[in-house]
Amino acid sequence: MVDTLGVRIRTATESDLDALEWDGKYAHFRRVYRQALREAQRDRRMIFVAEATDQVVGQLFVHLHSIWKSSFGGARTGYFHSFRVKPHFRNQGIGSRLLWTAEAALVDRNYANAVISVAKANLRAQQLYRQHGYSVYSEDPGEWSYVDHRGRLRHISEPAYVMVKALRYGNAPRD
């Protein structure tokens, strides 16, 4: 058990990029994360990290201009991705705090929905999202590609459920 009261949720900066690689485990996402940070600096994404005393222990990225907007009548829809908490720090509410923080930031920006794509095999994460008020909106083949830190093109194929939560009702603005 760790002292989760000492864990702080904040937005990421350039100096967090190394920590997001989790000592090499996620080095293959280096370019993806750098691109995400550049977009965060242009207000197109948000990146939240959970920080314990001496390390980053969790993260949640938000696309502010996702393709999902068109699925919801043009209502502003944030897309959550790259959500993870280090194993030793799981089951202590840190993931929930990341979700709440990201949802609150979307509400502040008058977003109507939060969407997350979760692998069909990831039952635990699906259960967590249900507890947070998300429900399955559709299925997705989960096909995407990225260039890794060595310049190799990698393909991901992970059938997923797209889950959505309505953040507010009524006069949500449309872009």
Contacting positions for ligand COA (CB under 6 A): 83-85, 90-96, 116, 118, 122, 124-125, 127-128, 131
Q: Is 65 exposed, middle or buried (0-12, 13-18, 19+ CB in 10 A)?
A: middle
Q: Tell me the sheet residues that pair with 166.
A: 113
Q: How many whole angstroms separate alpha carbon 108 and alpha carbon 98?
A: 15
Instruction: CB nearer to ligand COA: give 137 or 172.
Output: 137
Q: Residue 112 Cβ, how far from ligand COA at the closest point, in Å? A: 21
Q: Residue 9 Cβ, how far from ligand COA at the closest point, in Å? A: 11
Q: Residue 60 Cβ, how far from ligand COA at the closest point, in Å? A: 8
Instruction: Output the residue with the shortest Cβ distance to ligand COA.
Output: 95
Instruction: CB nearer to ligand COA: give 93 or 133.
Output: 93
Strand runs labelled E in 12-71: 45-51, 56-63
Q: Is the dihedral of CA 8, 10, 16, 22 positive or negative?
A: positive
Q: Residue 87 Cβ, how far from ligand COA at the closest point, in Å? A: 8
